Amino acid sequence: MSALAAAPAYATTPGGFLLVLAVILPAVAVLVMLALGPRQTARIALAALAAGLAVAIAIVAELLQTGAALTYVVGGWQPPLGLALRADGLSVAMLAMTALVVAATGFFAYAQHRLEPATRHGRAPTTFWILLMAVWSALNAIFIGQDLFNLYVAIELLTFAAVPLVCLDGRKETVAAALRYLLFALLGSLLYLLGTALLYGSFGTLDIRLLAGMSADGPALSLALALMIAGLLAKAALFPLHLWLPPAHAGAPAAASAILSALVIKAPFFLILRLVLDVAPPQAAAYAGQLLAILGASSILFCSVIALRQARLKLMIAYSTVAQIGYLFIVFPLAAGTETLPPSGTIAWTGGALQLVSHALAKAAMFLAAGVIAEAFGHDRISGLGGFGRVLPISAVAFGLAGMSLMGLPPSGGFVAKCLLLTAAVTGGHPWLAATILAGGLLAGGYVFRVVDRALATPAIPLAVCKPVPRRLELAALALALAAVLLGLVPLQPFGFLLLGRPDSLTVVAP
């Protein structure tokens, strides 16, 4: 009997249709926006944000109620001929996090666009709403997709929706940054596509669950995974492939920067996680995990030092993004698991997932707060922001709370995540990773306190406000920052929500 025949068939679960809604709703919103025109775009977007958030909550509730992964077989055709959508605990956590960040960012953008009534129905706001919905749909497709070629299509849709967000203002610098982003992304796409071609030619399927069930090994699989992971690293902007990210994220509008740093770069990491833990054979996964951890540790240390030296607030936050992404990649050797303990049962797995969510919330809050600061004072030069906390106290508090999570101070989600990772590094015999985690926290404290010091300073000449900023514009950043902190108060255990529906117990080896 072949491995494909031995693999268990997918079965659509009662809540499986919710997965389709998560992908379709934002896409339908785009079509409706194009049909009804710019004057209705913002209202349609708000309705889509509310509906999408409700769908994400329903998916979380369904997973908790059933305790099993949500599955939907598209058209009733079983893989490898057809496609299946599947959401386990990690996928559902990503869907919920994405919905929350997109909703908060949408609220921020809606309030910002209303500050200038003459242009709120113009080209830039309309384009932003359309691209935001496209990014959301592509992200959801990535988090629940099972077919590697279908995931390639989704990540390409994500790229071509994210790149224009960088240069919405049309300035020469942002266009150049967007083109650099596009070149890195296309290189990554080429490598990923070559890998999928090798896999399909060797095994006749690209379904993650079927590939895992084959227990395949050999040079073709190793080469394919190496190409795919290398391509995804370029899209994730891990050191030393990070050169495109700082100018792209720092030059984009605040709402776009929040989406790019909090969500878009998480998608390639999510796919790398699936490839290493669910597809790669144990020996290859161990080797890849060590290499990824080295790159992750280098990213933490190198980019944190560069962030300390930045003169602009948004550029500092952008380099901080590259540094904080490094924590996600040091998870691989820490969550390697054993013969009796799957990776999803380790504290490192829980810590990595928590870092994934807490970083998204904190980084989105930081970029939105920085956008309010730049809007109010006309610049984001750190040296010229002395006393900004007296003018924009909510933004200063939001930045400080988000910084708590990045530094790993209690009781924030970042603290619990880094504490779990540190514990896993110490108990697992990885002292160099433990030292990196501690050093990264200290460096993060350095660049966060630079801004906090400016916020609390008493300048000789009070800051001049170029444009009054209503308090409601600051609330989105504050809400996300509070969520990043309160996440640390959620009771966590390795065998909890994240383990629901994991394929560790579903892998089938052909006889």
Q: What SS3 string covers 261-282?
A: HHHHCHHHHHHHHHHHHHHCCH
The identity of residue 340, as a single letter, is T
**CB distance 254 to 376 below 8 Å:** no
pLDDT at 140: 94
Express each pLDDT in 13-38 by its tens digit.
888 899 999 999 999 999 999 998 88
1 pLDDT tier (thresholds 50, 70, 90):
very low
User: What is the 8-class DSSP label of residue 462?
Assistant: P
On average, the pLDDT of the chain sits at 86
Q: CB-based contacts of 376: which residues, under 8 Å, 6+ apart? A: 388, 391, 392, 465, 466, 467, 468, 469
pLDDT at 439: 92
- The pTM for the full model equals 0.91
242 pLDDT tier (thresholds 50, 70, 90):
confident
CB atoms within 10 A of CB 162: 28
User: What's the CA gap between 50 and 166, in Å, rounded?
Assistant: 25
pLDDT at 305: 93
pLDDT at 455: 85
240 class by beta-carbon count within 10 Å (0-12 exposed, 13-18 middle, 19+ buried): exposed
**CB distance 10 to 213 below 8 Å:** no
Question: Which tokens go with 107?
Answer: 């609220």
pLDDT at 511: 29
R_g of the chain computed on alpha carbons: 22
6 class by beta-carbon count within 10 Å (0-12 exposed, 13-18 middle, 19+ buried): middle
pLDDT at 202: 83
